[in-house]
Amino acid sequence: MIYTNTLLVLLGPTGVGKTEWSLRIAEVLRCPVLSADSRQIYRGMTIGTAAPSSAQLQRIPHHFVGILSPEDYYSASEYERDALSLLRELHKQYPVAVMTGGSMMYIDAVCKGIDDIPTIDETLRRELQELYRKEGLDPIRQQLKILDPVFYNKVDLKNTKRVIHALEVCLMAGKPYSSLRTDPRKERPFRIVKIGFTRDREDLYNRINRRVDQMIGEGLTEEAKGFYPQRHLNSLNTVGYKELFDYFDGKCTREFAIEKIKQHTRNYARKQFAWFKRDKETVWINLSDQNEDVMEKVQTLLNQYY
């Protein structure tokens, strides 16, 4: 296949500096940015998801930022469909488009493809969400264990969205979710160049801690308070909000909740890095290394394909 267009994917753990570098690179390339963040896609969650600011959005056109209500269901397969449709249009004007984010499933869906999963009936979805709201995740886990013990033993049982979705598919398809997961590698009509940003661990953790303090200073507590009546929504089962919901429920102090946000964010960063490191196609740049010329490396990688 001969490629005339490129998708430049900028990935890495939370807090590493993806947003600012995506802006700088997109300005040089004069192209738009596609957000691959499963929480920045929701409206109103600006502070808690570290979404691009109004000033940053004015610098470069962004897609998939603040376009859905927190009540809306949205999956990696839907992101794959929508992103590919958008890229078909963007590549008519821009030879390179930038995609950046830390949502592993979103990035894999666009770059590699995702399994064909049956569309979930809205009635079934509402029933399971209501079960989760009333009784928590445990009865859903137990049903999944019976219907698909293979996936049950693989999945992160604390990941609400993935557990519920797996049970939805089992009930909808009438067969185990694991039997539908073929992990296909789909061809794309564009070249994919992946750059991963990393930092030395102490540097990254310090940045995460400072960013959480900055979020609190910018009004994260107040933002979370506004979502408190909707705290059962999957979109709000997110680091930064769920810890503050515990504070609002009287389960802990505000200071304890803030420390937990920092801890859980660091844990998530480790999980992201472990996931991304499995992909041997990614070229890594250590942003803690002052000798790294990021823009030069990006241009060198892109020039290899022209």
CATH of the domain at 95: 3.40.50.300
Answer with the one of 180, 198, 219 that is the final residue of a domain: 180
| Local confidence band at 240 (pLDDT 50, 70, 90 cut-offs) | very high
CA distances from 13 to 26, 28, 253, 279, 296 (A): 20, 23, 28, 14, 22
Q: What angle do CA 64, 269, 15 make, to 5 degrees?
A: 60
Answer with the one of 155, 180, 205 that is the final residue of a domain: 180
pLDDT digits 0-9 by tens, 122-145: 888 889 989 998 999 999 999 999
Mean pLDDT throughout 148-156? 92
Tell me how far apart the alpha carbons of residues 17 and 26 are, in angstroms, rounded to a whole number: 14
CB within 8 A of 99, min separation 6: which ones? 7, 8, 9, 10, 33, 34, 35, 36, 83, 107, 110
CATH of the domain at 135: 1.10.20
Name the residue among 170, 146, 145 with its Cα closest to residue 155.
145
Q: Are residues 97 and 139 in the same domain?
A: no
pLDDT digits 0-9 by tens, 106-127: 999 999 987 767 778 888 888 9
Q: Are residues 19 and 87 in the same domain?
A: yes
Domain count, the chain: 2
Q: Are residues 109 and 126 in the same domain?
A: no
Q: Are residues 162 and 210 in the same domain?
A: no
Torsion of CA 26, 17, 266, 12, to 10 degrees: 40
Residues pairing with 42 in the sheet: 68
Parent domain of 190? 6-114+184-303
Q: Are residues 89 and 163 in the same domain?
A: no
Mean pLDDT (the chain, rounded): 92
Tell me how far apart the alpha carbons of residues 227 and 241 are, in angstroms, rounded to a whole number: 9
Q: Are residues 174 and 228 in the same domain?
A: no
Give the residue with greater pLDDT, 115 vs 101: 101
Q: Are residues 97 and 199 in the same domain?
A: yes
Q: Is residue 1 assigned to a domain? A: no
Q: Are residues 78 and 195 in the same domain?
A: yes
